[in-house]
Structure 1
Amino acid sequence: MPSHVKPSKKTVLVTGFGPFGIYKVNTSWEAVKELYKEGLGADWELVIYEIPVEYCTVKSIVPQLWEQHNPDLVVHVGVSGIASELTLEQKAFNYGYERKDVNNCLPEANCCVHGADESITAGIQMNVVCADINNSDSKIKAVVSHDAGRYLCDFSYFTSLHINKHRTAFIHVPPMDQPYTVQELAEGLKVAITAMLKQIEEKLEMVEGNSK
């Protein structure tokens, strides 16, 4: 499915997932589309993309999106039936993918990236992002998780972390209206992404300052 782009300066890529299982309408993609309507502000180009719940597609599409857009930040968004807040994932795992995708397929050797580390921890500090969300005026509340579930969410997260762990994040959203509306979820995503971009920019300024 073609990506949608809003022209601006720096690039944030946000993905949601297509339908699977009981989720005939995937809340993650609905929230991402709502975020796109709102935008991130004049300084940021927002690119969104819907990813099918397919291992082979994730393995091909995610690296292509990185190469095509050279994003300053990639945020994958997925739905979780056990979540009741925005759930900020801190790490992803390379092995243990034993749940079949929508095409009844599994990745080779139940592995995401052959030869890569068993797990990767994101360079973005999700506890800081979580505090920023919970201290904001947003109705949305957030928690931090260290296990994204060994399905396509975890699989896409590891794929991107393996490309650049300092510019990658994953957020699980609860199902629609349990308890948040799509509009509220989009607002929460915007607050989270703004907090992530603040971290990235601060680290960049620190690096530039040390190089002078």
Structure 2
Amino acid sequence: MATTVTLEKCGHNVGYKGLDNCRFCPGSQCCVEGGPECIDSIIDMDTVCKRVSALGLDVTVTISKDAGRYLCDFTYYTSLYQSRGRSAFVHVPPLGKPYTAEQLGRALQAIIEEMLDVLEHSEDKINCQHEH
């Protein structure tokens, strides 16, 4: 369970052994058979984390490279696979443990705004490189 607001950097394809709430686990223990082992988000989560942390929102924002080989990681990997890396996943602690709804709301709004800004600037660089 998250104790900070956690930005996930990547999703993993293999290693799923636990049953979900419907008692299902893929027989292959992977999300996408033949898919890459790990897919990184094209969003620079380190930059997003630094920018949001600098805002002084009284919410701790951290980075993770492992969403846990359960439903979160499975969902994130599948989303990254389908979108070619254009996806994000944020783990949020339960309300009141330790943050209020207002604190989490402000932090999530700032995270989304920074992700969009980082993505916009990275796409500008990609497009610029292709034009030459």
Q: TM-score, normalised by structure 2?
A: 0.91
Aligned residues: 131
Q: Secondary structure at the match of 1:129?
A: helix
1:139: Cα distance to partner?
A: 2.1
Note the aligned Cα RMSD (angstroms): 1.5
Checking the alignment, whether the CA contact within 8 Å between 1:86 and 1:172 is kept in structure 2 is: yes
Matched, 1:173 2:92: yes
In 1, the alpha carbon distance for the partners of 2:85 and 2:23 equals 33
In 2, the alpha carbon distance for the partners of 1:196 and 1:113 equals 26
In 2, the alpha carbon distance for the partners of 1:165 and 1:189 equals 23
1:208: Cα distance to partner?
A: 3.3
Q: Secondary structure at the match of 1:108?
A: coil
Aligned residue in 2 for 1:136: 55
The one-letter amino acid paired with 1:202 is H
Checking the alignment, whether the CA contact within 8 Å between 1:160 and 1:168 is kept in structure 2 is: yes
Q: TM-score, normalised by structure 1?
A: 0.58
Gaps spanning 5+ residues in structure 2: where?
none
2:18 aligned to 96, 99, 102, which one? 99
Checking the alignment, whether the CA contact within 8 Å between 2:6 and 2:92 is kept in structure 1 is: yes
Greater RCO, 1 or 2 (C-alpha within 8 Å, sep 6+)? 2
In 2, the alpha carbon distance for the partners of 1:175 and 1:124 equals 25
Matched, 1:109 2:49: no
The one-letter amino acid paired with 2:3 is S
Matched, 1:155 2:74: yes
Q: 1:207 to 1:121 in 2, by over 3 A?
A: closer
Gaps spanning 5+ residues in structure 1: where?
1-80
- Greater fraction of residues in strand: 1
Aligned residue in 2 for 1:184: 103
Q: Secondary structure at the match of 1:168?
A: coil
The one-letter amino acid paired with 1:148 is A
1:135: Cα distance to partner?
A: 0.4
Q: Secondary structure at the match of 1:88?
A: strand
1:131: Cα distance to partner?
A: 0.4
Give the fraction of aligned pairs with identical amino acids, expressed as a percent. 37
